[in-house]
Amino acid sequence: MDGPRILIADDQPDVLEALRLLLKAEGFRIHAATSPAGILTALEAREFDVLLMDLNYTRDTTSGEEGLDLLSRVQAADSALPVVVMTAWGSIELAVEAMRRGARDFIQKPWDNARLVSIVRTQVELVRALRKGQRLEEENRLLRGEGQPLMIAEAPSMQPVLQVIRRVGPSEANILITGESGVGKGLAAQALHAVSARAGKPLVTVNTGGLSEGVFESEVFGHVRGAFTDAKTDRVGRFEMADGGTIFLDEIANVPLSQQAKLLRVIETGEYERVGSSRTRSVNVRLISATNADLGAEVEAGRFREDLLFRLNTVEIRIPPLRERREDIPVLAHHFLRQHALRYRKRVSGFEQAAMQALLSHCWPGNIRELDHAVERAVLMADREAIRLADLAIQPPRDTSKRLEEMSLEDVESLLIQKALARHGGNVTQAAQALGLSRSALYRRLEHHGL
C-alpha cells in the first residue's frame, strides 16, 4: 500500500532535503515546493494528506505574512487538507494566528524529529477519516441507494447489521431492532423501509413510550366522533396511515399490557376497530419495532406477552453501542459538525487533536445521540474554525500510560488543565478560577499545550 502523500514547502533547499530524508524514512511519499505559487500548482495537480509549509518566503522573511495570506488560498483549493506551519522567526503569537486562520498545528525550527513525525501522522489519520466521511455522504447513502437514509457504519461491528438489512430489508418479515438508547434504531428502521418493496409508501413512526394507556388505542387505531368526551371528529389511527407501507413501533416494551392483545390481533390478521366503532377495518402493513429493554425478561416478569414477542421478532437486529464502534466516531463527529455549522452559520470546519482524542476516549453512555449533542454544543461554543477541547463538555481522556511521578511537569500541568475544564463543563472562566489563574493566563496555557 502506498504511504501518505506529504507536500513540503520551504524556500531553503537544505531544509527541504532534511525534511524529505526524515519523512521518506518514515514511509511517507514526499513532494516539494519552494514558493506559494509552487504550492498551489501542486495542489491543483493531485491530492495530498498533509501540507507542511514554511510561513516565510522571499517576499518577506520574518513576519510570516506571506504564509498567513497563503493559508486562505490553500483552504480554497482543498478545504479538508491539514496544514502544519513552520517558522524559525515567529513568536508563539504568530503560530497561534496561523492556527486561527486554519492551520492544524505548528513546528518551530529547528524542529524535534519525533514531534514532527508524530504531528504529521496524527494529521494523516484525521484527514483520512474526514475524507472517508465525505465519500460516505456523497456516495454511500445506505446500500448506495439515492435518497435513502444515510448510515455511517464503517466499523467492523456494524457490518453484520448492514448485511442483515440487505438480506431481510426487501422481505415482508417483521423486524425487532434492539440496542441501547441513542444507537440509531430509528435510522435502521428507515433503512429497512427504504430497501423494501414498500419504499414508495409511508413509513409511520409511533413512539409507544410517549403514549399513556388512556390514549394508546386512539392514537394507534383511531377513534370515531363521540367515542369519548373530547372526540369531536373522527380520527385516523397510525396503522391506517401506514396502510400499504411500514409502521415502526419504537419503545415497544412500553405498550400497556391491556393493549397488547389488540396489537397482536392487528399483527396477525390485519384487522382492527377504531375506538367507539364496531366496524372492522383492514390494513396491510409491514411491522418494524424497537426496544432498549430485555423483552425476554419482560415476558418472565409478566409485563409482556410471549406470543406478541414471537410475532415481533421474526428477525432481530442488534445495533452495537458507540463504544463498540469507535472507528465511526471521527466520521460521525465531522458529519454532525457540518450539519450544525450550517444550521448555526458558524465558520467551524474541524477538530483540534486534543478535542478529537477526547471524543475517541469518551465512553458515550448516550451513544450517537449524545455525540450529536456534544458536537452541537461545541459548534455553538467555538470561537475559531477548529473545535478545541475547551469547547467540549465531556470528560477528557486520561493519561493511563504513565504514573503521575513518571510524568513531566508539562504533562502534569496539561492534565490538570484538562480535568479543570471537564469539571466545569468547558467553562474557561470557572476553570481558570479553580486553577488560580486569570482567564487570559489560562488561554495562554491552553495554546501552549495545544488544547
In this predicted model, what pLDDT tens digit does every residue of 88-114 receive, in sequence order?
765 677 778 888 888 888 888 888 899
Average pLDDT over residues 309-330: 94
The whole-number pLDDT of residue 142 equals 35
Q: Is the pLDDT of residue 406 over 80?
A: no
pLDDT tens-digit readout, 247-273: 999 999 999 898 999 999 999 999 999
In a domain, 148, yes or no: no
Say whether 253 sits in a helix, a strand or coil.
helix
Residues 305 and 331 in one domain: no
Instruction: Please check whether residue 137 is in contact with residue 146, taking contact to mean a CB–CB distance below 8 angstroms.
Output: no
The cell numbers describing 164, all together, are: 442483515
The whole-number pLDDT of residue 451 equals 57
In this structure, of 36-45, 67-76, 215-224, the range with the lowest mean pLDDT score is 67-76
The whole-number pLDDT of residue 304 equals 95
Residues 242 and 308 in one domain: yes
In a domain, 160, yes or no: yes
Q: Say which CATH number the domain at 315 has.
A: 3.40.50.300
Give the residue from 303, 319, 335 where a domain finishes. Answer: 319
Kindly indicate the confidence band of residue 138, based on its pLDDT and cuts at 50, 70 and 90.
very low
Rounded distance between C-alpha atoms, residue 168 and residue 244, angstroms? 18
**Residue 32 has what DSSP assignment?**
E
Q: Is the pLDDT of residue 140 over 50?
A: no
Residues 103 and 176 in one domain: no
Distances (CA, A) of 333 to 61, 134, 235, 324, 368: 39, 12, 41, 16, 9
pLDDT tens-digit readout, 62-91: 566 777 888 888 877 777 889 998 877 656
In which residue are the cell numbers 373530547 written?
A: 230
Instruction: Please check whether residue 394 is in contact with residue 422, taking contact to mean a CB–CB distance below 8 angstroms.
Output: yes
Residues 111 and 31 in one domain: yes
Which residues lie closer than 8 Å to 337 by C-beta, 6 or more apart?
A: 348, 349, 350, 351, 375, 378, 379, 387
**Residue 435 has what DSSP assignment?**
H
Rounded distance between C-alpha atoms, residue 394 and residue 422, angstroms? 6
Other beta carbons less than 10 A from residue 53's beta carbon: 24
Residues 110 and 44 in one domain: yes
Q: Say which CATH number the domain at 366 has.
A: 1.10.8.60
In which residue are the cell numbers 385516523 written?
A: 236
Q: Residue 167: which domain range?
A: 156-319
Residues 310 and 333 in one domain: no
Residues 330 and 387 in one domain: yes
For the question of whether the overall pTM of this predicted structure is more than 0.85, the answer is no
Give the residue from 138, 167, 184 where a domain finishes. Answer: 138
133 vs 130, more confident: 130
Q: Is the pLDDT of residue 149 over 70?
A: no
Residues 126 and 222 in one domain: no
Give the residue from 138, 169, 192 where a domain finishes. Answer: 138
Q: Is the pLDDT of residue 425 over 60?
A: no
Kindly indicate the confidence band of residue 289, based on its pLDDT and cuts at 50, 70 and 90.
very high
Residues 315 and 333 in one domain: no
In a domain, 151, yes or no: no
Residues 161 and 270 in one domain: yes
Percent of the chain with pLDDT over 90: 46
In sign, the C-alpha dihedral spanning 140, 142, 145, 146 is negative
Distances (CA, A) of 40 to 30, 51, 107: 16, 11, 21
Q: How many domains does the chain have?
A: 3
Q: Say which CATH number the domain at 54 has.
A: 3.40.50.2300
